[in-house]
């Protein structure tokens, strides 16, 4: 077994680390300052566009797409350590590299399931970083971790036009508050009474400016608006009409597309979470050696040693599991790596939440303040125990597969 990264990965890592140090990390405070001066907090600060241009110049663009026709053509194993590095600054770096959720998942869907016209109209501007997108599945009125519960209707127009009429309410639709978000991929039911509950759903492309689409309000995360991610919006579809050619794939194929979309998305989250944990460890160590309490440096307290050591051990374990999962996705496919994808989605957010919690504790009041990134990182990591499938849903499915071996 060879634990080294290959030459291409090492070369890209070097380039990305330099970009992070020279541009991304210094831009964090600039972005905050610029956002405070914007007409709307949902607009994109100018420094983000500058970062995007610089990333493109440095060949650090669309690294997430394994398809070399559209992206960098990296394997999951090659992309994993790069995504980890972007996780050190999750508010800026993924966007700078055009590797941010939910656009990444949406681009994958369009590349894999979109037709030529859909790819031209929506995938190309997304790949160029000219627009943003959102993925609208979750609904406030039903337990949406079970996607068969979705109630949004996608009906053929009864007036003879070749259109779908979409009616429903969605919430926590990431990115939708950002005015650059031009297109929604909406999941709803075309056949709510169909015998196969996994064939009732379809996905359609709904441009933001479609009459009947209202981005109603920004949902908060722990009481805060998540500006850097373009917010998480409540969106109402009130008899919104789109041409039937906006269907992605086939009618009844929405559930399967959602499953395909979530595999890579989940591993990307976990890769970035490891980068978040690395940042927490770094901040913890810097703080511990630079502050004294009761006559000695915090770094000399045994409990601080335990926190740092435990964090390091956990990160090393998680990274190995994430890299193994990436390797399996490359070698046996996303379906073959199902158990591993679920294992990392269960293990990583909760472990990183724990590490961030300790890092916050070590920083005292500074830990919960806006002067360190820890509180924001904590909120991001904690929500990943819910978003893209709550832990319990993955545990249920993983355990059932494990039990099956003995039945």
Ligand X SMILES: Cc1cc2nc3c(=O)[nH]c(=O)nc-3n(C[C@H](O)[C@H](O)[C@H](O)COP(=O)(O)OP(=O)(O)OC[C@H]3O[C@@H](n4cnc5c(N)ncnc54)[C@H](O)[C@@H]3O)c2cc1C
Contacting residues toward ligand X, per CB under 6 A: 102, 135-138, 143-145, 172-174, 221, 232, 383, 386-390, 392-393, 396
DSSP 3-state of 238: strand
Q: 116, exposed or middle or buried, with CB in 10 Å at 0-12, 13-18, 19+?
A: exposed
For residue 267, the minimal CB distance to ligand X (Å) is 16
In our burial notation (b when 16+ CB lie closer than 10 A, e otherwise), range 349-371 reads bebbbbbbbbbbebbeebbeeee
Please enumerate in sequence order all residues whose Cβ is within 8 A of that of 100, keeping only pairs 6 or more positions apart, or say none: 94, 229
Of residues 102 and 373, the one with the C-beta less far from ligand X: 102
Which of the 8 DSSP states describes residue 5? P
- Beta strand 296-297 pairing with 232-243: unpaired
- Lookup result for tokens 């990305």: 16
For residue 30, the minimal CB distance to ligand X (Å) is 25
Of residues 325 and 383, the one with the C-beta less far from ligand X: 383
Of residues 157 and 393, the one with the C-beta less far from ligand X: 393
β-partners of residue 202 are 188
Of residues 51 and 187, the one with the C-beta less far from ligand X: 187
Of residues 81 and 389, the one with the C-beta less far from ligand X: 389
For residue 168, the minimal CB distance to ligand X (Å) is 12
202 and 186 Cβ atoms separated by less than 8 Å: no
For residue 69, the minimal CB distance to ligand X (Å) is 26
Of residues 228 and 325, the one with the C-beta less far from ligand X: 228
Of residues 366 and 390, the one with the C-beta less far from ligand X: 390
Of residues 9 and 138, the one with the C-beta less far from ligand X: 138
- Beta strand 181-189 pairing with 201-207: antiparallel
For residue 201, the minimal CB distance to ligand X (Å) is 12
Residue 166: both structure tokens together: 């979409």
Which of the 8 DSSP states describes residue 104? H
For residue 233, the minimal CB distance to ligand X (Å) is 9
For residue 296, the minimal CB distance to ligand X (Å) is 40
Cα distance from N-terminal residue to C-terminal residue, the chain: 33
Of residues 24 and 346, the one with the C-beta less far from ligand X: 346
Q: Residue 226, by phi and psi: left (phi above 0), alpha (psi -120 to 50) or beta?
A: beta
Tell me which residue of 158, 258, 159 sits closest to 202, measured CA to CA.
Answer: 258
| SS3 annotation, 206-237 | EECCCCCEEEEEEECECCECCHHHCCEEEEEE
For residue 109, the minimal CB distance to ligand X (Å) is 13
For residue 181, the minimal CB distance to ligand X (Å) is 11
186 and 170 Cβ atoms separated by less than 8 Å: yes
For residue 219, the minimal CB distance to ligand X (Å) is 8
Instruction: Break the chain down into helix, strand, coil percent, rounded to 5.
Output: 55, 15, 30
Of residues 179 and 366, the one with the C-beta less far from ligand X: 179
Q: For residue 214, is the peptide bond before it cis, meaning its omega torsion is within 30 degrees of 0?
A: no
Of residues 221 and 347, the one with the C-beta less far from ligand X: 221
322 and 348 Cβ atoms separated by less than 8 Å: yes
For residue 89, the minimal CB distance to ligand X (Å) is 18
Residue 71: both structure tokens together: 């992206």
């Amino acid at each position: 077994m060879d634990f080294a990264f290959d030459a291409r990965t090492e070369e890209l890592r070097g380039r990305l680390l330099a970009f992070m140090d020279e541009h991304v990390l210094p831009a964090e405070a600039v972005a905050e300052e610029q956002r405070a001066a914007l007409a709307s907090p949902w607009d994109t600060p100018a420094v983000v566009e500058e970062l995007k241009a610089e990333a493109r110049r440095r060949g650090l663009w669309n690294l997430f797409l394994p398809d070399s026709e559209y992206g960098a053509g990296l394997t999951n194993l090659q992309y994993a350590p790069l995504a980890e590095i972007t996780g050190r600054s999750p508010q800026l770096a993924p966007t700078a590299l055009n590797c941010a959720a939910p656009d990444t998942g949406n681009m994958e869907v369009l590349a894999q399931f979109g037709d030529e016209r859909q790819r031209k109209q929506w995938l190309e501007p997304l790949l160029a970083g000219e627009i943003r997108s959102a993925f609208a599945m979750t609904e406030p009125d039903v337990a949406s971790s079970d996607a068969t519960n979705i109630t949004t209707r996608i009906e053929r127009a009864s007036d003879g036009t070749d259109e779908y009429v979409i009616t429903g309410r969605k919430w926590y639709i990431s990115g939708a508050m950002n005015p650059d978000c031009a297109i929604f991929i909406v999941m709803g039911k075309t056949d709510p009474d169909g015998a196969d509950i996994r064939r009732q759903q379809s996905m359609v492309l709904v441009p933001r400016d479609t009459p009947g689409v209202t981005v109603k309000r920004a949902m908060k995360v722990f009481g805060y608006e998540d500006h850097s991610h373009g917010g998480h919006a409540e969106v109402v579809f009130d008899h919104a009409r789109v041409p039937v050619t906006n269907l992605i794939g086939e009618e009844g194929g929405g559930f399967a597309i959602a499953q395909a979309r979530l595999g890579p998305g989940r591993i990307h989250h976990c890769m970035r979470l490891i980068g978040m944990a690395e940042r927490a460890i770094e901040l913890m160590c810097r703080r511990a050696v630079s502050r004294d309490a009761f006559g000695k440096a915090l770094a000399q307290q045994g409990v601080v040693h335990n926190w740092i050591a435990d964090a390091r051990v956990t990160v090393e374990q998680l990274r190995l599991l994430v890299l193994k999962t990436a390797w399996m996705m490359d070698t046996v496919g996303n379906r073959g790596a199902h158990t591993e994808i679920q294992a990392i989605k269960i293990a990583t957010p909760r472990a990183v939440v724990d590490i961030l919690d300790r890092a916050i504790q070590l920083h005292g009041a500074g830990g919960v303040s806006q002067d360190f990134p820890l509180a924001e990182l904590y909120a991001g990591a904690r929500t990943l125990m819910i978003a893209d499938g709550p832990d319990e849903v993955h545990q249920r499915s993983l355990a059932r597969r494990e039990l099956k071996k003995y039945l």
